[in-house]
């Protein structure tokens, strides 16, 4: 029976350390998500590993979309991609073009 109280203290210490590690990881995750939110000028979009230490990274800076090659030695701009139209932009263009066509038809009548 004297062995149980001797085991309880190290188990409680281990549980306390694990809780502190989990709390620190949660805090870092929250801080990281806030810092890298999409409200800033620089937005990370996607990454693709092309080697053991090389990767291709797609980022957006303001309205520019950049494709970067990243290695341990340097970062190289591979390409600047053209801005893609969103479905809302396409709908707006479709409405404008439809209205222009309708006006042209009415004028010619």
Q: CB of 83 within 8 A of CB of 65?
A: yes
In this predicted model, what pLDDT tens digit does every residue of 78-102 receive, in sequence order? 888 887 665 555 665 555 566 666 6
- Give the domain ranges of the chain: 1-35, 39-83
> What's the mean pLDDT in 45-56?
87
* pTM (two decimals): 0.45
Mention every residue, 6+ apart, whose C-beta is less than 8 A from residue 45.
Answer: 58, 59, 60, 65
CA distance 21 to 33: 18
pLDDT tens across 62-81, in order?
A: 888 898 999 999 999 988 88
Q: Are 94 and 100 in contact (CB under 8 A)?
A: no
CB 66 within 8 A of CB 81: yes
Average pLDDT over residues 40-47: 81
Statement: residue 1 has pLDDT above 60: no
């Amino acid at each position: 029976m004297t062995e149980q109280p001797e085991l309880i203290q190290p188990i409680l210490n281990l549980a306390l350390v694990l809780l502190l590690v989990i709390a620190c990881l949660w805090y870092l995750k929250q801080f990281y998500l806030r810092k890298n939110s999409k409200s800033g000028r620089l937005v990370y979009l996607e990454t693709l590993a092309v080697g053991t230490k090389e990767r291709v990274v797609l980022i957006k800076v303001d309205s520019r979309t950049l494709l970067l090659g990243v290695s341990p030695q340097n970062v190289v701009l591979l390409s600047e991609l053209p801005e893609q139209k969103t479905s809302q932009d396409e709908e707006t263009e479709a409405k404008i073009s439809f209205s222009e066509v309708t006006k042209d038809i009415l004028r010619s009548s």
